[in-house]
Amino acid sequence: MKKYLFSITIVAVFFANQANAQDDKNKKNNTVGTEVVNVTSEYQATLNDAFKINDNPLIEDEDINQKKDVKYTIFSVPVASTFSPAKGEAAKVDNDSLANFYNNYALFGYGNFNTIRGELGIVEKIGSNNMYAGGFLKHISSGGGIDGVELDDSFSKSNLDFTLGQRNENSQWNTQFGAMTSKYNWYGTPADFYVSNFNFDLVDPLQKYNDVHIGGSYESYIGAFEKADVSYKYFWDDYDSKESRFIFAPKFNIELPNNTVHVNLEADYLNMHFSNNGIDNAIDKYNYLNLSVNPSIKFFDANYSVEVGAGLTYILGKERGIEDNSLVVYPMVKANFNLVPNIVQAYFGAVGGVKQNSYADLAEENPFIAPGGSTMALKPTKTNYDFYAGLKGKLYHNLSYNVRANYKVEDDKAMFTINPYDINLQNKQGYQYGNSFGLIYDKVNTLSLFGELNFDFSDKAKIALSGEYNNYSAEYYNNVFHLPQGKVNVNVLYNFTKQWFADANLGFVGQRYEFSGVNTFPRPDDIKLGDYYDLNLTVGFRPTAQWTVFVKGMNLANENYFRFNQYQVQGLQVLGGAMYKFDF
């Protein structure tokens, strides 16, 4: 699916999780609450262990160093875990790879719009003490060329990560170091420019993002100390904006005869300098330290699991020199009930929390944001509560379902909105031509309904259907912005033979709104961005156990939709390539 930077996907999606077939040999699920791990075979390091890479590394442009929590289950209900990743969607795509396991892979693809996609993943065991080291390189770029767009719409992004870790019978640890660099262009100018003989040569739309990051984790399978994660990221752009973020999150649990006491702590510190706001050259500074504690107690037996607790976050903030301190208290209640064993499970809960809105995360979500100015104020989003309830289970041996409803209340929810063009502003920067995004904050209540069906026809076919409806209510504005009212996704994977396969995906995103830009009462109608759909198809062939060749078509309907306001995506795309799996 091509949604500009989120797209140009290819299909060697099949490697990352083949590694996890080995992990299944290394773990044993005892009673919930004790979670003792016995290593029953020699440990083999995998890419998923080393980097916790995305299950489908080539489906979306997600950070490869995001650590994914792994869950053991009580009648398929997630509970805390202390061991290795479970295999994910990649194994479903490349079934053959599970029988032909390799530690490493290389991938290259090329398509129209001068699109280049490459990945190299290597992880190897060191010595005989279950240590491993690895590296992961990922690159995607496009030369651009969207019809009717005057400014440069090319982009590129590259990630490089290294890791070192060890896994023992009673503990494991992992360290990572990496860097990222990317280039984007603010090419989404207002429609008025195209009918007013605007001189596009005045605009230099280039923006560059970079970061270096380091992190580590230690996990113990015995004693009250459960886990600790620590990470640091330094992020900067081409306009001298700089951001530092440090996170430390230890977790503890105490096993009692019939329950477990959990205590989760977190310190999340953000220091941000927007060095040049382009108007008065003032330096906008933001500092936030969020200190959180989440104690809870969990009761369980063979047919239920109930966790009761509360969360408390104290925010020590300074926004442009003004103190911004607050205390947030929220519920942490989760319950799961086995109504009909292996058929019907009910779950409900009430949770909350505080989300640190960082420049790095916002630029990852929308790289066309402004690098400063009055519209780019940073502050945390507070989820006062999120009530949810649902049912999940099986309608037949190969047909599973999940339905859920939730109601959420958020203070200071961050939403993107296009920055208006100011014709009177002198010495404009490349993002000050009505072509960049700022943030709008509001208190938002959201009622969501979600449902999914999954059909599993063994190794022959997999079908996944999901849909989501959202009803938003904002306190200050008429609407919420750049948030869809609904989503629908259909995915069909079909293996014609052991060598030939196809993967089709149809995604639909419902109507969204853009702020009208007028702060008068009564407010004028906001801009409707409209809905869109995106159709993608991959056809692959495995000539040998190590080689996979593929052709992927994206946005096959050639829909010229707007992923963000004024930002049209590339039309029909075709990308072909190959992946090679190997061992040293």
pLDDT tens, residue by residue, 374-429 = 788 999 999 999 999 999 999 988 999 999 999 999 999 999 999 999 998 888 99
424-471 tens-digit pLDDT = 888 899 999 999 999 999 999 999 999 999 999 988 899 999 999 999
Amino acid at 166: Q
pLDDT, residue 301, reads 87
Structure-token match 């590296």, residue found: 135
Percent of the chain with pLDDT over 70: 82
576 and 111 Cβ atoms separated by less than 8 Å: yes
Alpha carbons 536 and 557: distance in angstroms, whole number: 9
E strand or H helix at 184: strand 171-185
Q: Closest by alpha carbon to 86, among 35, 130, 26, 14?
A: 26
Q: Closest by alpha carbon to 480, among 416, 434, 411?
A: 416
12 and 550 Cβ atoms separated by less than 8 Å: yes
| Mean pLDDT of the residues in the chain | 84
Cα Rg of the chain (Å, integer)? 24
Mean pLDDT of 286-294: 97
Structure tokens at 357: 């809105």
Structure tokens at 516: 């009208």
- Residue 52 reports pLDDT greater than 70: no
Q: Determine the Cα angle at 37 with ends 33 and 41, to 5°.
A: 160
Q: Convert 304-335 into a string of H (helix), E (strand) and C (coil).
A: EEEEEEEEEEEEEEEECCEECCEEEEEEEEEE
Cis preceding linkage at 257, omega within 30: no
C-alpha distance from residue 2 to each of 7, 365, 463, 527, 537 (Å): 4, 14, 21, 23, 12
Structure tokens at 551: 């052709």
- Superfamily holding 4-202+209-582: TonB-dependent receptor, beta-barrel domain (2.40.170.20)
**pTM of the predicted model, to two decimals?**
0.83
pLDDT, residue 356, reads 97
DSSP 24: G
493 φ/ψ sector (left φ>0, alpha ψ -120 to 50, else beta): beta
Q: Is 433 exposed, middle or buried (0-12, 13-18, 19+ CB in 10 A)?
A: buried
Alpha carbons 435 and 567: distance in angstroms, whole number: 9
- Residue 44 reports pLDDT greater than 90: no
By three-state DSSP, how is residue 77 classified? Answer: strand
How do strand 77-79 and strand 104-111 relate by DSSP bridges? unpaired
Mean pLDDT of 199-221: 96
- Residue 87 reports pLDDT greater than 60: no
238-268 tens-digit pLDDT = 999 999 999 999 999 998 887 899 999 999 9
The residues, ordered by sequence, that sit 6+ positions from 264 with a Cβ below 8 Å of its Cβ are 249, 250, 251, 252, 292, 293, 294, 295
Amino acid at 138: K
Structure tokens at 530: 């409209």
513 and 526 Cβ atoms separated by less than 8 Å: yes
Amino acid at 553: G
E strand or H helix at 580: strand 573-582
Q: Is 508 exposed, middle or buried (0-12, 13-18, 19+ CB in 10 A)?
A: middle
Backbone angles phi, psi at 24, to 5 degrees: -60, -25
